Structure 1
Amino acid sequence: MTTTTTPPATAPATTGQLSIRSLRKDFGNVTAIKDLDLEIRAGEFISLLGPSGCGKTTLLRMIAGFESPTAGAIELAGSDLVGVPVHKRPVNTVFQAYALFPHMSVTENIAYGLKQSKVPKKEIGERVHEGLAMVRMLDFADRSPAQLSGGQQQRIALARALVNRPDVLLLDEPMSALDRKLREEMQVELKLLQKRLGITFVFVTHDQEEALAMSDRIVVMYDGKIQQIGSAQEVYTHPANSFVAGFIGKQNFVEATVESVTDQAVVLRSVNRTIIHPAHAEANGLPLAPGQDVRVAIRPEAMRLRVATGEPLAPNAVPGRVASVSFLGDVVQYVLLLGEGKEVIARVPQAQAVQLPTDQDVLIEWDAEDVKVYADES
């Protein structure tokens, strides 16, 4: 049975502030990072989120020192890190594969970095014990990595990084190899651990749910650039562009044309007339104009369904037909067919779900405040 001993809370870090300015990284004729600026606050949990190839791991490796920038600056608490060797940076990295030494015990793995840094033997013992308690693995001190589960190996990799007392901990998709249930459990544990220690965590992931669950702020990246920075709620409810809208959570997109713009509403023409709340009368931060082609985005959970009765269509309503129904636990998902074969998804809380058979004609409705509009970004 694993002990639940918890070490005293560590004072919040004051030296973990990262400033990244005009950073660029070229690999031959390919630019992986394009003039990137980012301020990471001391003691925050920030996630770099984006699809494969967006530049997030390259950015992490430059902070760690495994890659050198082509141009730009990386400063930690005002000190330039560019050119500083990996082992001399107050930064540690937890890798996707954990990188534990198979021939060493758990204790020896955690102590390895401390020995390399010539930490006194007595202090090594104290820090290893502290690290094991921190990740609730005291009862596993004498085991080998082969005797540990994936989640336990991840905890040991964390302890090995944390006993070196870094100002910044970098995590490169460390939970991607875990099954879903264990990954969700580790998300909670990792977030609580970070809050207790007050260390700056920079977390790389392509899993949007993981980033939403854990982060103080999320940096959404695509094509070597930052698309949006904000809290989980900000990037979900107010996506900066159609890429973020489509990447964070499920989204329904409909092509439309602006029909009219007044002080009261914006009317767009697509499969129906959609009224936009005045606060949303812009796309990508720019005013909308009649005749402009745009993309309308509506979250599946914003859509309401009822059986069609043949009444005239009101704004923010469109007829559809049920193509499939899926029970997803807490929600029921409906795939709906509009005119010309267009598919949209509606998600309804299980307690509010309506029994709708396949091929049922329905009316799909939503509120103007739930509509987002984006201009062509090509």
Structure 2
Amino acid sequence: MTPEPSPVRGIRTTAIHAGESPDPVTGASAPSIVMSTAFVADAGVSFSAEDFGDNTPYLYTRWKNPTVDQLEKKLAALEGAGGSVAFASGMAAVTALLLYTLRAGDHLVISDISYAATAEMTNELLPRLGIGVTKVDMSDPANVKAALRPNTKLVYAESPANPILRLTDLEAVGRIAHEKGARFAVDATFASPIGIQPTQLGADFVLHSLTKYINGHGDAIGGAVIGSAQDMAAIKKEIAIRTGGILSPFNAWLIQRGAATLPLRMRAHEEGAHAVAQFLEEHPKVTRVIYPGLPSHPQYALAQKQLKNTSGMITFQVKDGLAAAPVIAKRLSVIHYAVSLGHQRSLVFYLPTRDMLRTSFKLTPAQEQSFRAFAGDGIFRLSVGLEDPADLIADLAHALDGI
């Protein structure tokens, strides 16, 4: 008698098979794209979000869609969580989580360094809605503990933090949040589910910009919130259906296809980043390199403890980076001078500290000092792709020779 396969599967098997099955009509092995906005239903089926639940049939793609469902199941499996809800962008996912967890009179504690749009939203929109916001340097869990109030409902970390690659001890911060009755959310876009699974370290919610590593090919925008089945059902009904920031089935299909190779790609991103980071650290024109996989990272011990994969994100500094940026951009031939990250091709972009502090990060003097400890006067944020590391190194060497 043939034994049943184990329900506990490896991450590579999960990335390929979770959420998917052969098409019951055609037998197609690859998932299909269901682009229909409407579905034939039995007479008498309720068309009200109030009645939406696990057993609701497909009625309208804003409610749920077979292709998006497959992706959501795959994301939940990759994180080891009960469910997920996909959105049209990473910021739509962030917005959904904040709207779900916070009300007027509530208080949010958030990392003082986070994705620029998240930072700007918590600078402006949330306070206008009557939500208190305190921003702290989460590299020290004591800062989080000191910031908590009786009305704190959510603690929001980003690790590694965009763009400076500063880390947060998720287990420690999660314990602090839960001891005070707050929920704990982590944006883990830079690490991907291959690098870290925050729900296994005490997080209630995980956020991903699917545009980045999970898609991995720079051709589809999306976002996701991942957590317990109960929370995800509520977010789906209360936020996704009612606000309408849903993911296109076509983008869901592209992202699902990318997710299948995520474990293999992340291993290659990490290997390439290690080689490139070591080259940069030894280059005479590079004054500082920050990469969690290097012993020179200020939180290397935490990175070794917490990250199963140190990803492909590097920052580096050169003397007078603002003047060097156009020279480097012009001399690059393999690496693209462009924003975004996590694609198969390598991307680099210069971020001046003065601009980041003026537009996104509203910091205290102590927080600015912590930021500058990682960023100096500005950083080149380099997303190492899947090219041959030797070619990337040669490209960077040629570019740096020009400054």
- TM bucket normalised to smaller: under 0.3
Please tell me whether Structure 1 or Structure 2 has the larger radius of gyration of its CA atoms: 1
Greater share of residues in helix: 2
Scaled by the length of structure 1, what TM-score is found?
Answer: 0.25
Scaled by the length of structure 2, what TM-score is found?
Answer: 0.24
